[in-house]
Amino acid sequence: MGYDLHITRNVYWFEGEQNSNDISLDEWLSYIHIDGSELELVDTHGVKVPEAEAKLQVPPGFCEWTSHPENERPWFDYSNGNISTKNPDEPTIMKMISMAKELKAKVQGDDGEVYELSASKEIISRHMGPGLEDENKSKKEKPWWKFW
């Protein structure tokens, strides 16, 4: 197991049905192309597909970040209108925030929190409640005895 981060335009990354907010595969492939030499499409990661002609199929839009400052090669996987990665370190989260800005999207964790850069260029995360309201803000606006 691990913790995933997702680049998404949806209110919550896990909204299952495709809609017009989704990042299209064409948009993602175009972004990879214009990002210069930092992102590289790879075909070394295959997905086992039972009863398929080709036992391993390469997911479209799967790429690696070749310019990671610590010479690692974090991967990004396109699926269902989102771009995801697993267990990202700080440089990878910063890269995702930069990519999300270009794609007019946001970076969201498995639990719905949104990652952003502060004015001092530090990574911050905000836990979001229903309707993308900041939970901390909505709690301050209501008296403690009101439950609705």
Share of the chain above pLDDT 70, in %: 72
Q: Which is higher by pLDDT, 76 or 43?
A: 76
Look at residues 108, 95, 78 and name the one whose alpha carbon lies nearest to residue 10: 108
Domain ranges of the chain: 4-141
Whether the pLDDT of residue 109 is over 90: the answer is yes
Whether the pLDDT of residue 29 is over 90: the answer is yes
Note the pLDDT of residue 135: 45
DSSP 86-141: ES--HHHHHHHHHHHHHTT-EEEETTS-EEEE-TTS-EEEE-B-GGG-BHHHHHHH
Q: Which is higher by pLDDT, 89 or 58?
A: 89
Three-class SS of residue 25? helix
**What are φ and ψ of residue 57, in 5° steps?**
-120, 140
Q: Indicate the pTM of the whole model.
A: 0.76
Three-class SS of residue 31? helix
Query: What is d(CA 33, CA 31) in angstroms, rounded to the nearest whole number?
Result: 5
Note the pLDDT of residue 133: 47
- Please say whether the beta carbons of 93 and 115 come within 8 A: yes
